[in-house]
A = this chain, B = another copy of it.
C-alpha cells in the first residue's frame, strides 16, 4: 500500500468518491419504525446498507478504491485478505471494472462466503488462519501479479468510500442530531465522522462496539491505541482491531464509543428483524443495542443509524 493511501481523506475526497461510485453503487433507502422510535424515545433513521450491492456498505469503499486506480495499475488487478464482506465487495467492485481480484482467505472460512466471492469472479488464495500468514500470502500475490493491495479499513480510498454513507444519509435526512455506526477496524466510523462533521460540525457522533472487542473504546479512554484485545464476540464483522489512522479520526471528531454485550446485540438484532422486517447481520445490531442501552443520550433526538450489512447464515442464527 502506498504511503499516500494511509492518509485520512477529507470531505472533498469523500465527495469525489460519491461521484466515482455513483454509476455502480446503490442509493440505499432509509427506513423508520414507529415501534422502535417508541422503544428508544428517539426518532431513528435506519440507513439500509444491507441493501447495498453485495449486502454491505463495504462495496462503497472497495468500489472507490477500484475506480481510483489509473489504467495501468487497474490492469494488474487488486488484492486483499478477507473472508468476509470486504473480500466479497472487492470482488464485485473489480468486476464492475473488468479487472482481476485476488482474495486471500484463511483455511476454515465459511464455505458460503467463499462461494459468493468466487461467484463474483475473484480468485481465492488459501492460507493458514493467522494474521501473519494472511499478510505473507497477500504480499506474495501482490509480487506475483502486481495487484494493488486494498486494505479493508486502513486505506484512504476505502475510508473515503465508506464516508459516502454519511453524505447520502444527510442528503436523504438533512436534519439529524446524531449519527451512530458500528466500530470494527474503523473504516466506516472514520469515513462517516469526517463526512458528517464536514457537513455539520454540530452532529453528535457515536460508535457501537462489542464489549468483547472493545479496543476502540479502550484506545479512546487511554489516549493511545490499545492492541492487546483478543476479540471474543459473536459480531464477526467487528473483530478487527481499530486502525491507527481510523482511531485518529475518531479522536479528532470526538466519536463517543458505546460498548454493548453480545446479549444486548442479539436482542437488538431480533428487534430489527421483527419490527423493521429486515435481515441484518449481528454486527449491524450493535447500533440499536447501544441506543437502547443509553436512552438518555438519544432521547428526543433525530438519530441516523447505519445498518451495515445483511449477510447472514440462516442456518446458524445467534439466538437458535
Q: Interface on A for B, CB 8 Å cutoff?
A: 29, 50-51, 55, 270, 273-274, 277-280, 310, 312, 314-315, 317, 319-320
Q: Which of A55, A270, A274 has the most CB of B within 10 A?
A: A274
Quick one: given A29-B29, A320-B320, are A314 and B279 in contact (CB under 8 Å)?
Answer: no
Bound Cα distance from A55 to B310, whole angstroms: 20
**Given contact pairs A29-B29, A273-B314, A277-B280, a sample of 19 additional A-B residue pairs in the complex whose CB atoms are under 8 Å apart:** A50-B277, A51-B277, A55-B277, A273-B279, A273-B312, A274-B279, A277-B278, A277-B279, A277-B310, A278-B278, A278-B279, A279-B279, A314-B317, A314-B319, A315-B319, A315-B320, A317-B317, A317-B320, A320-B320
Question: Which of A273, A274, A277, A310 is most buried by chain B, counting CB atoms within 10 A of its CB?
Answer: A277
Contacts of A320 in B (CB 8 A): 315, 317, 320
Given contact pairs A50-B277, A278-B278, A279-B279, A314 touches B29 in the complex (Cβ within 8 A): no
Within 8 Å by CB of A274, from B270, B314, B319, lies B314
Cβ-closest chain B residue relative to A275: B55
Q: Which residues of B contact A280 (CB under 8 A)?
A: 277
| In the complex, residue of chain B having the shortest beta-carbon distance to the beta carbon of A50 | B277
**Bound-state Cα–Cα, A279 to B279, Å:** 6
Residues in B whose Cβ lies below 8 Å from that of A270: 314
Contacts of A273 on B, CB cut-off 8 Å?
279, 312, 314
Interface pairs (25), CB distance under 8 Å: A29-B29, A50-B277, A51-B277, A55-B277, A270-B314, A273-B279, A273-B312, A273-B314, A274-B279, A274-B312, A274-B314, A277-B278, A277-B279, A277-B280, A277-B310, A278-B278, A278-B279, A279-B279, A314-B317, A314-B319, A315-B319, A315-B320, A317-B317, A317-B320, A320-B320
In the bound complex, what is the Cα–Cα distance between A259 and B317 (angstroms)?
Answer: 30
Residues of B within 8 A of A279 (CB): 273-274, 277-279
Residues of B within 8 A of A50 (CB): 277
Q: Inside 8 A of A319's CB, which chain B residues have their CB?
A: 314-315
Give Cα A84–Cα B274 distance, bound, in whole angstroms: 15
Residues of B contacting A314 in the complex (Cβ-Cβ under 8 angstroms): 270, 273-274, 317, 319
CB distance from A92 to the nearest CB of B (A): 11
Nearest 4 CB-CB pairings of A with B: A277-B310, A277-B279, A50-B277, A273-B279
Closest CB in chain B relative to A113 CB, distance in Å = 12
Report the separation of the CA atoms of residues A31 and B277 in the bound assembly, to the nearest whole angstrom.
14
A268 shortest CB reach to chain B, Å: 13
Alpha-carbon distance between A104 and B231 when the two chains are bound, in angstroms: 51
Query: Which residues of B are found within 8 Å of A315, using beta-carbon distances?
Result: 319-320
Q: How far is the CB of A100 from chain B (nearest CB, A)?
A: 22
CB distance from A128 to the nearest CB of B (A): 30
Give the Cβ gap from A266 to chain B, nearest Cβ, in Å: 11
**Distance in angstroms between the alpha carbons of A50 and B274 in the assembled complex:** 11
Instruction: Please give the distance in Å from A179's CB to the nearest CB on chain B.
Output: 22
Write the chain B residue with the least CB distance to A313. Answer: B274
Q: Inside 8 A of A278's CB, which chain B residues have their CB?
A: 277-279
